A = this chain, B = another copy of it.
Amino acid sequence: MRDTLRRIQKRIPLSIHEVPSGTQVFDWTVPKEWNIRDAYVKNAKGERIIDFASCNLHAMSYSVPVERKMTLQELRPHLFTLPDQPDRIPYRTSYYKENWGFCLSQKVLDTLEDGEYEVCIDSSLTDGSMTYGEYLLPGASSDEVLLYTHICHPSLCNDNLSGVVLAAQIAEHLRNRRLRYSYRFLFCPGTIGSITWLALNEDTVSRIKHGLVLANIGDAGRSTYKKSRRGAADIDRAVMHVLKHSGEDFEIEEFSPYGYDERQFCSPGFNLPVGCLMRTPHGRFPEYHTSADDLSFVQASSLADSFRKCLQVFEVVENNRLYVNQNPKCEPRLGKRGLYRPVGGQTEAKHDELALLWVLNLSDGEHALLDIAERSGLSFGTVAHAAEALAEHGLLKELGWSYARDKATFTVPVD
In Å, the complex CA distance between A25 and B374 comes to: 32
Which residues of the partner chain B approach A269 to less than 8 Å between Cβ atoms? 325, 327-330
In Å, the complex CA distance between A413 and B376 comes to: 10
> What 0/1 readout, one digit per residue, does chain A (249-284) give for beta carbons within 8 Å of chain B?
000100011100001101111110000000000010
Is B258 touching A357 in the complex (CB atoms < 8 A)? yes
Q: How far is the CB of A224 from chain B (nearest CB, A)?
A: 14
CB within 8 Å of B: which of A364-415? 364, 366-367, 371, 374-376, 410, 412-415
Is A361 touching B229 in the complex (CB atoms < 8 A)? yes
Q: With A269-B329, A330-B27 as known contacts, state yes or no: A288 contacts B376, CB within 8 Å.
A: no
Q: Is A126 an interface residue (CB 8 A)?
A: no
- CB-nearest residue of chain B to A413: B374
Q: Is A210 an interface residue (CB 8 A)?
A: no
Which residues of the partner chain B approach A146 to less than 8 Å between Cβ atoms? none
| Cβ 8 A contact of A330, one of B194, B361, B415 | B194
In Å, the complex CA distance between A335 and B97 comes to: 9
Is A357 touching B91 in the complex (CB atoms < 8 A)? no
Q: Is A45 an interface residue (CB 8 A)?
A: no
Q: List 17 A-B contacts (CB under 8 A).
A: A25-B330, A27-B332, A27-B333, A93-B344, A93-B345, A194-B330, A240-B415, A252-B415, A256-B376, A257-B360, A258-B357, A267-B328, A267-B330, A271-B364, A283-B347, A283-B348, A375-B413
A interface residues, Cβ below 8 angstroms from B? 25-28, 61, 90-97, 99, 191, 194-195, 198-199, 202, 229, 232, 236-237, 240-241, 244, 252, 256-258, 263-264, 266-271, 283, 288-289, 325, 327-333, 335-336, 342-349, 353-354, 357-358, 360-364, 366-367, 371, 374-376, 410, 412-415
Q: Known A-B contacts: A26-B327, A95-B344. Give 6 more (CB < 8 A).
A: A28-B330, A264-B330, A267-B360, A289-B347, A366-B410, A374-B412
